[in-house]
Chain A
Amino acid sequence: MHKPRLHPVASFDINFLQYLDERGQATQALPDSATPDLLQSLYRQMNLARLVDQRAVQLQRTGRLGTYPSSLGQEAIGVGVGSAMQADDVYCPYYRETGALLERGVEIEEILAIWGGDERGQDYQHAPEDLPLCVPIATQLLHAAGVAFALQYKQRQMGESARVAVTCAGDGATSKGDFYEALNLAGVWKLPVVFVINNNQWAISVSRGAQSASRTIAQKAIAAGIQGLQVDGNDVIAVRTAVADAIELARGGEGPALIEAVTYRLCDHTTADDASRYCPPEQLEQARTREPLLRLGTYLREQGFWDDGAESEMQREQAEVMERALQAYHARPAESPTAMFDHLYGTLPEAFLEQYEELQYLRARDRQESG
């Protein structure tokens, strides 16, 4: 058979970044930013995220919270991303983001409120420009591209300071057109946006391998002409460093990046899911040995930056913080039913007044009857 001669016109590498291996040993010199103080604070934040998740799941089990998506085992991604951002950068999250929200200053009580069915939970006062949690898969990636355009535009046309949009999604999200469209546009328009993929190996029950035949998710950046990098998503130092570097490049006008953070979901998809139906137990057991808190904890102890005393002090403090948040959550007065109209439009159009008044009237009547 005749074999035509081919010339390579392009070739690419996908790199992997890791600082701490599964046993908590440094695989290379840590970045200068990884001071003992910072590492301790990342450890604390990951632990807090885990605690919030755990209590949220308990609340759901006892009927005091709706469906909740835990991030057990993936805390290094949320905390790494959140801590890499500047306060005035804009976060465009999906729904599995407790660690990042805490880093952004969102109150625990607000996080519980969101999943407890109270829409005021997304009225974050501590991250006023961040987008609310996004439930439809992958759409937030395009919103982040739009936000990034706005930030770039306001910098160029209105003299505002350079800011960056950061957005997260799961591995399942990378199958959607939104993902490709966002990467493509970000590349063409050189937008200041960092895409972080939480590759936790599952999209509910569909495995990473069933989602895409691509060897890595990071390489999907190549088609869009942007930077792609894979990081150890259980290594908070690697996540934080990769995201921080990408943010600074984007801030400097160097364009977008895609970061794939490889981790494993150690929990059910949500409280409505039962992962034992599809998740091989040996795989799960293996994955438990690689989880991020254990890893950083081991490193900190071996370096002499952490000990049993510090651990029990942290647990005691965080239990108190959590207790206060739970009390605040339980004490929240219900929102007025008419609130569903209050934020529908800037000003309620006349056409809705009748429905609004009907709701007010029915509620007043209910109150009278029950009072």
Chain B
Amino acid sequence: MAEITLVEAVNQALAHELAADPRVILFGQDIGANGGVFRATDGLQKRFGDERVRDTPLAENMIAGIAVGMAVQGLRPVAEFQFMGFIYPGLDHILSHAARYRNRTRGRLSCPVVYRAPYGGGIHAPEHHSENTEAIFAHIPGLRVVVPSSPARAYGLLLAAIRDPDPVVFLEPKRIYRAVRQEVPDGGEALPLDRCFRLRDGSDVTLVAWGAALKETLEAAEALSAEGIEAEVIDPATLKPLDIHTIIDSLEKTGRCVVIHEAARFAGLGAEITAQINEYAFDLLKAPVQRVTGYDTVMPYYRLEDCYLPDGERILAAVRKTLDYPAGGDR
């Protein structure tokens, strides 16, 4: 079986669902003949026709809004936004409508839409192309926010997102769209939503990260291992609703936790995870939870991008801080 990249896995999942379910339709800017600016929909219009794989006029608010109308009529719309930084005009429809339809009609109508967007920095893109604002969506009742971090998880989670009866914001870490190749069987098997994935076992410290930041996180875990420190690495994958139990189970073993994300720190998801750990597992902690995040600044132009994004060095420093707590030895 051929090995495929994350973006090819997205394409494979979309093709699988288009073939399997006539209710699935794809639309967005440049997704047709062009196959999307990242090629996530490459070849799909040719294969499934332009009624099912459609270019839209250039209006994100419109894309988000018509998806709601399609979904409440029983279709399974999958809307592509070209970049997460351009999803904001559509927020009104995602937050005020998609997220609330089931509730405001007391279950009469539901809104099974998937809003896809490439997200995150690291590809030397122009301004507004590198945003990491998943916390905006995660804050909203009624939404699911899913971030895959490997080709296999992109495939399985996207299938689950399309089949889910509720709205899902599916954020694709574009920095790792082509970073690794993996065999991903096209068997149509979905992965569970609302569940963390444990990517590495360890007993000394728990590292929680998602999306592209897992690349540096896993590398840091390997570096630590060479020093005899075993890190457990957890990928929440579904950021909302969050499976805190898996993280706490891990803390039972390690007692130490570092949360790593590219998004700005203030009111980022690291804050939520830390708060939940404090509420449920304060007694398990041997050190305060540390956060390694983007800064509370505007995402810089690309020459400063590497200074903004969490790197291995910052992760290792945070891990050392938790291991050394309290500084200087004995408590």
Q: What residues make up the interface of A, taking CB atoms closer than 8 Å to B?
A: 90, 92, 119-120, 122-124, 128-129, 131-132, 136, 139, 142-151, 153-154, 156-158, 165, 177-178, 181-182, 184-185, 188, 339-340, 342-346, 349-352
- 22 A–B contact pairs at CB < 8 A? A119-B106, A123-B106, A146-B65, A146-B67, A146-B70, A149-B69, A150-B73, A154-B74, A154-B75, A156-B51, A177-B61, A182-B65, A184-B59, A185-B56, A185-B62, A339-B106, A340-B103, A344-B103, A345-B144, A345-B166, A350-B243, A350-B245
Q: Is the CB of B142 closer than 8 A to any CB of chain A?
A: yes
- Give the number of residue pairs across the A-B interface with Cβ within 8 Å: 143
How does the 8 Å CB contact mask read for B117-159 relative to A, with 1 for contact and 0 for none?
A: 0000000000000000000000001101000000000000000
| Residues of chain A lying within 8 A (CB to CB) of residue B5 | none
Option from B69, B77, B109, B194 in Cβ contact (under 8 Å) with A144: B69
B161 within 8 A of A: no
Q: Evaluate contact between B25 and A153: CB separation under 8 angstroms.
A: yes
Please, how many angstroms separate the alpha-carbon atoms of A185 and B75 in the complex?
18
B residues less than 8 Å from A143 (CB atoms): 65-66, 68-69, 72, 97
Whether B68 contacts A142 by the Cβ 8 Å rule is: yes
Query: Shortest Cβ distance from A214 into chain B, in angstroms?
Result: 20
| Other contacts beyond A92-B69, A142-B62: 11, CB < 8 A | A122-B105, A123-B105, A143-B65, A150-B73, A153-B70, A157-B52, A185-B62, A340-B103, A343-B102, A343-B103, A345-B165
Q: Can you name the residue of chain A whose Cβ is closest to the Cβ of B242? A: A351
* Contact residue among A146, A165, A339 (Cβ-Cβ distance under 8 Å from B68): A146
Distance in Å from the Cβ of B104 to the closest Cβ of chain A?
5
Complex alpha-carbon distance, A188 and B22, angstroms: 23
Interface size on B, residues (CB 8 A): 48
Q: Known contacts A122-B105, A123-B107; is A351 also within 8 Å of B194 by CB? A: yes
Which 9 residue pairs of A and B lie closest in terms of their CB atoms, listed nearest first? A146-B69, A142-B65, A150-B73, A351-B241, A146-B66, A346-B165, A181-B62, A349-B241, A143-B69
Beyond A124-B108, A142-B69, A149-B69, is A185–B243 a contact (Cβ under 8 Å)?
A: no
Contact flags (1/0) for B36-80 with A, using CB distance below 8 Å? 000000000000000110001101011001111111111101000
Q: Least Cβ distance of B88 to chain A in Å?
A: 13
Central interface residue in B61, B66, B107, B241, by most chain A CB within 10 Å:
B66
Residue B324 is within 8 A (CB to CB) of chain A in the complex: no
Cα distance, A351 to B280, chains bound together (Å): 13
Contact B25–A139 (Cβ < 8 Å) = no
